[in-house]
Each structure stands twice: as structure tokens, then as C-alpha cells.
Amino acid sequence: MLRLLDEMTENKLIEFDINSKEFFVINNEIPKHESYLCENCHGKTVVLNDLENYKKVLSEIWKNKPEPTLLFDQRPVTLDTSLNRVAYLLTKNDIYNKKIVFLGDDDLTSICLALTNPKCEITVLDADERLIEYIKNVSNKYKLNIIAKVMNVMDKVDEDLLNKYDVLITDPTPEKIPFTLFMNVAIDITKSNAIIYASIYSSAMMKTLDLQRVITNMNLYITDMVPNFTDYKYIYKLYSSNDINKFEKYGVTFDENSICFTETLFRMEKNYVAHKLPLKFTKEQIMGKATKRVLKDEKNEVASKNIFLENARKKMMEDRDKFNKESIVMGHHAISEIYECNAEQLDNIEYIKTVVKESAKAANLTIVEENFHKFSPIGISGVLILSESHLTIHTWPEYKYVAIDCFTCGDKGDPRYACELIAQKLKSKNYIINEIERGMDYELPRIRD
């Protein structure tokens, strides 16, 4: 939020009064914001009620839990957030007589759930051995019904976990490839009619659309979206020097109760048509930005130094280098079958040119050359040579059908999004997009650094 306010101040849309430490609107066309959120739940749709009674014992448990480590991309949520999750599951009747699994749980929501609902059958799967050991110790001390296992989502899922759980709760890395990996595992280990909860960080629009497309393409049905549901605690070392300069510029201060950022809670229903997505990746693509920073320089770690984290960092670097040497992504290939389009538009070469070029630019693709040809009696073929590779289109007006092929190297552009835009602009009533990662299955020789 402060980044946005700073940008608005620089563009003279608002001004900052250093004495009152308040922002004021300069342009009178910008209306004053009025909030009509509920004063009790603040838009989260639940209140804790009797769950407040558990805060004292949970606070003691929270004090001794392992420090969050950026090596595993961990950031602590507030205790209220973990309890709010329990309240939400209770409201949705997603607890009683359910087998519940947490795919990662550095927030200890599993302990909140087990303490408040002792008859629950709960499993925690996490890559952090410190966390798994701590959950086991707490579970033994308080006689909780929790099974905690070390598991890395990049490894093959154990057969005894497949199709097992009624409810899954996860907080995945908000990038397309790691998010897809987490959701693929979620599909693997849940029953056909399961409920899946995920906290998702809404950052840039295109990144958020990537995550939405993953959910849609898996045929998962989104039943609920609650913005600003998950509150993350402030950690000074998470911020860049630019952000810290802004804090000083505007006199922003933080304490132990300050919120760093928030995420949206998604509730999804799995069904008989839900399925995993094909996915090939390098270890580098799976890692979050925070993890990469720690691997680059251990001084970027926020957790105290200890043997476990040192060994985990060393192993992660070795695994990454070995895996990345064996698997190289040369490019991303989207192939689209587009049906039931407007026949007249499919035979209009100027219209097709406009649609394809506008879609390519919107998908962050750079056009180098273009060539479009109108066939007799009908049909059009076109190609865009891109800095990233190519985009081709072939139309069959007599069948109201279009074939698209978009190949890109690097991660700058989004070939899938280009295909989707073309389908939408051609008024398609039905389309399919298949994606292939290119250059993954062979160790390619390197002839330059």
C-alpha cells in the first residue's frame, strides 16, 4: 500500500503532511474513501467467539515454535489468522467426520484445529524437519490427534496418501509453476469430492490471472473468495532497502502486532472432472524469491543460524544444481484449438491481423516481423516472428475453427494468455489450450555461459 501511496504522491495526485503524517487528496475528482466493512470481522466473514478462550494456551505454544525461515519461504501469520481459519472451516461444516491434511503448516493451524476440535483426524505434510518435530512434540504433550510427516512436494507422493483426504489446506508460493505443483499434489492426495483451501497472494494482475487459470484449467470450482483474510506479521528483514527508505520518508513505524501483507482465502470444491496439469520444471522455477535470496547469500536469512538450516541450505543448493543440469526449459509452447467462432471474422484478414497483434502485445510478446495470407476462396494463415519465438494462426471459416500455435523462450511473455485473448476476441464458444515445456528431457550441451 505504501508503494502505491508513494507513487501517487510522486504523481501529485495526493500529498503527504509530515506533521500529521496523513495523506491528502489534491485532485478533487478522486472521491474520499468510505469503508462499510463490518467492524467486528473486518470483512473476514467470521468472528472467533468461544475460540478466543484458546488464545492463552496457543500463545504459549507459538512462543516456542521454530523461527520462520526464508529457506522454505516461510512467513508467520498472526495467531488470529490461524484461529479464523478454524472458524471458517467450522462455518462451512468442513471439519466434522473429515480427514484433514495440511500441505505445509508453519502457521500451526493444525494445532489450533486439533485443540479446538479434538476428534478431528489431522495430517501435516511439510518439508521442514524442525517444524514436523515440533508439531509431534506439541501433539504428544496435549494428546492431539495429529500425524506429522516430512514431505517435499517435489518428491513422488507416497501411495498411502493418494485419494485419502476430505479437506486440504495449503499456502502455496504465488508463482505459476510452484503453485501448479502444490495444486497437483492437492489433487493427488484428496478424494474426488474434497474441499481445498488455499491462501493466495494477489500481487500483479497478470500473476494473479496465472493462478486463476491454473485453478480453472484443473476444473476446480471456486466457492468462496475472502480478500484480506490471511494476515502476515511484519518482519523487517523481508523488506528491500527501497521499502525501508519509504518507511523513513513517511515516518512509518512497526511493532510486534503490525501486519506485513494480506492474502485472499480461496475455498474450492474438487469434482469428478478435476485433474492435474502437466508440469515440467527446474528446481529454480519451483523456488520462491525469498528462497533464492537465501541460497544466493545466507545473510538474507531471517532465522537464527543453526546446524539444521545450514545443512538444509547446502543440500538444497546441491539438489538445485544437479536437477537444473539435468533439466533445462528452453521454452513454453501453447497449442490452441478454437471452435465455434464468428465465420465472417475468420475470413477478414485485417480483423485477424488486429486480433493476433493486439493479443501478442497484451501477453507481453515482442513482434519483430509479420506475414498474413488470404487464401481463395476462404481461409487465412498468419505468422508473427517474435523476439521470444513465434505465434501462428490458421482459420477455417467454413468450420468456424481456428488453430493457434505460440512458442516463447524465457519467462517474459505468456503464450497461454495470448491464445486465450485470441479466442475471446474471435467470440469463441469453446476452446482448448495445451501447454508443453520444451527442452526438458535431454541434457543440452552448453556452448556459451
Q: Is 419 a catalytic residue?
A: no
Q: Which amino acid is at 75?
A: R
- Which of 113-117, 137-141, 150-154, 199-203 is predicted least confidently? 199-203
Cα distance between residue 277 and residue 214, in whole Å:
8
pLDDT of residue 31: 64
pLDDT at 183 over 60: yes
Instruction: Please list the residues that pair with 101 across neighbouring strands.
Output: 123, 168
Average pLDDT, the chain: 86
Instruction: Please list the residues that pair with 393 across neighbouring strands.
Output: 382, 404
Q: What CATH code is assigned to 49-277?
A: 3.40.50.150
Where along the chain do its domains lie?
A: 1-34, 49-277, 331-438
0.75 exceeded by pTM: no
Cα distance between residue 160 and residue 85, in whole Å:
27
Q: How many helices (H) and strands (E) does the chain have?
A: 14, 15
pLDDT at 348 over 70: yes
Reduced 3-state DSSP string for 75-130: CCECHHHHHHHHHHHHHCCCCCCCEEEEECCCCCHHHHHHHHCCCCEEEEEECCHH
pLDDT of residue 443: 45
- Distances in Å between the Cα of 311 and the Cα atoms of 107, 143, 282 are 23, 31, 21
Q: Coil, strand or helix: which one is 148? A: strand
- % of the chain with per-residue pLDDT over 70: 89
The CATH class, in words, for 331-438 is: alpha beta
- Which of 45-49, 316-320, 361-365, 367-371 is predicted least confidently? 316-320
If you average pLDDT over each of 161-170, 196-205, 308-317, which comes out highest?
161-170
Q: Let me know: does 317 contact 398? Beta carbons within 8 Å.
A: no
For the stretch 394-421, pLDDT in tens is 999 999 999 999 999 876 788 988 999 9
Extract the C-alpha cell encoding 168: 486440504
pLDDT of residue 447: 46
pLDDT of residue 442: 46
For the stretch 283-306, pLDDT in tens is 767 777 777 777 777 777 777 777
Q: Let me know: does 77 contact 107? Beta carbons within 8 Å.
A: yes
For the stretch 198-230, pLDDT in tens is 999 876 676 788 899 899 999 999 999 999 999
pLDDT of residue 29: 62
**Active-site residue (options: 260, 333, 381, 394):** 394
Q: Let me know: does 371 contact 349? Beta carbons within 8 Å.
A: no
Higher-pLDDT residue of 441 and 449 is 441
Mean pLDDT in residue range 253-271: 86
Q: Let me know: does 381 contact 373? Beta carbons within 8 Å.
A: yes
Within this chain, domains 49-277 and 331-438 share the same CATH topology: no
pLDDT of residue 449: 39
pLDDT at 236 over 90: no
pLDDT of residue 448: 43
H-type helices in 327-403, by residue range? 343-346, 349-362
pLDDT of residue 181: 92
Q: Could you write out the DSSP letters of every residue in 27-66?
A: STTSPPP-----TTTTTSS---GGGGGGHHHHHHHHHTSP
pLDDT at 444 over 60: no
**Active-site residue (options: 41, 202, 260, 409):** 409
For the stretch 76-122, pLDDT in tens is 889 999 999 999 999 999 999 899 999 999 999 999 999 999 888 99
Q: Is 394 a catalytic residue?
A: yes
**Active-site residue (options: 389, 406, 419, 428):** 389
